[in-house]
Amino acid sequence: MANRAIEIGANTFQYFTRNPRGGVAKEISKEDIDSFLKLSIQNNFSKIIAHAPYTLNLCSAKESIRNFSKNILADDISRVESVPNSLYNLHPGSHTGQGAEVGISQIAKALNEVIKPNQTTTVLLETMAGKGSEIGGTFEELKQIIDRVDLPDKIGVCFDTCHVFDAGYDIVNNLEGILEQFDKIIGIEMIKAVHLNDSKNICGSKKDRHEKIGLGNIGIDAISSIVNHPYLKNLPFILETPHEDLQGYAEEIKLIKSKTK
């Protein structure tokens, strides 16, 4: 994967720890890790990001799903540890009718059972669009989870531009104000990565449909402000835009690089 990232002009990437819809994970080979670490140093990579499968839900109303999710999370973190100082991105969960308060406490409880003091991996809670019963569509909800985590230095936030916009934070007309709000509520230093996506929908739509950079309602000007913002510019930026092939991403990376100051 590192080779393909280099080919398209990237110096980071995101990968799924297993099939995004769930399932068995591939065995990790020491050779793969060693050759990755070598490549990443040679090519000046930033941190890479592992993404949890979408099927995980730490706050499902069904106990069996909560337990399954917690076990996958524990297994994923132990695998991700094979690359030191990794970032592991997680959708906080959907409370499926139990209410946000119950959901938040179930998520925090599961994280506390799984996160270990000696791990080098940072678990990132992704900012969500707030569709359905999703937790994490507001900065306050993320803060409430973080506040209950016993090992706060093992936790961070992944700032998804499409999700934040769809959740109702107007990063197009008020990026400064939104980041200030984030800083007041959570602390800007908690953002450890950015998912850089445009949105097919309008601010506050709570929809979560990603668009190619520059073709959605966020637009290239706001995207440029985001990648150049002093609070964000040194973070790993991950594209989750809907391209059919790598060439699409190569062109998108070129476009974004042409906008960075």
Residue 243 annotated as catalytic: no
Rg, the chain, Cα only? 18
Minimum Å distance from CB 41 to Fe ion?
Answer: 27
User: Can residue 198 be called a binding residue for Zn ion (CB under 5 A)?
Assistant: no
Q: What is the contact mask toward Fe ion in residues 170 to 199, using x (rule: CB under 5 A)?
A: -------------------------x----
What type of residue is 42? Answer: Q
Minimum Å distance from CB 93 to Fe ion?
Answer: 12
Supply 170's token pair. Answer: 């107007």
Closest-CA residue to 258 (of 223, 232, 218, 230):
223
Residue 249 annotated as catalytic: no
Say which residues have a Cβ less than 8 Å from residue 230's Cβ, sequence separation at least 6. none
What distance in Å separates the CA atoms of residue 10 and residue 191, rounded to the nearest whole number?
A: 20
Residue 229 annotated as catalytic: no
Residue 95 annotated as catalytic: no
- Of 227 and 238, which has the nearer Cβ to Zn ion? 238
Which of 31-39, 71-79, 92-100, 200-208 is the region at the interface with Zn ion (rule: CB under 5 A)? 200-208
208's contact among Fe ion, Zn ion, none, with CB below 5 to 8 A by partner kind, is Zn ion
Instruction: Give me the torsion for CA of 102, 108, 113, 119, rounded to 10°.
Output: 160
Minimum Å distance from CB 240 to Zn ion?
Answer: 6
Shortest Cβ contact with Zn ion: which residue?
Answer: 208
Q: Measured between alpha carbons, how far is residue 261 from residues 52, 218, 235 in Å?
A: 33, 19, 15
- Report the 10 Å Cβ neighbour count for 194: 22
Count of alpha carbons within 13 angstroms of residue 148, beta-carbon side: 18
Q: What is the contact mask toward Fe ion in residues 115 to 144, using x (rule: CB under 5 A)?
A: -----------x------------------
User: Can residue 76 be called a binding residue for Fe ion (CB under 5 A)?
Assistant: no
User: Can residue 208 be called a binding residue for Zn ion (CB under 5 A)?
Assistant: yes
Count of positions on this chain that bind Fe ion (CB under 5 A) = 3
Residue 208 annotated as catalytic: yes
Contact 237, 180 (CB under 8 A): no
Return the residues of window 201-260 that contact Fe ion according to CB under 5 A: none
Q: For 157, which DSSP code?
A: E
Residue 15 annotated as catalytic: no
Residues of 178-193 as b/e, b for ≥16 C-beta within 10 angstroms?
bbeebeeebeeebbbb
Known catalytic residues are 21, 51, 54, 91, 126, 160, 163, 195, 208, 210, 240
Binding site for Fe ion (CB under 5 A): 126, 160, 195
Binding site for Zn ion (CB under 5 A): 208
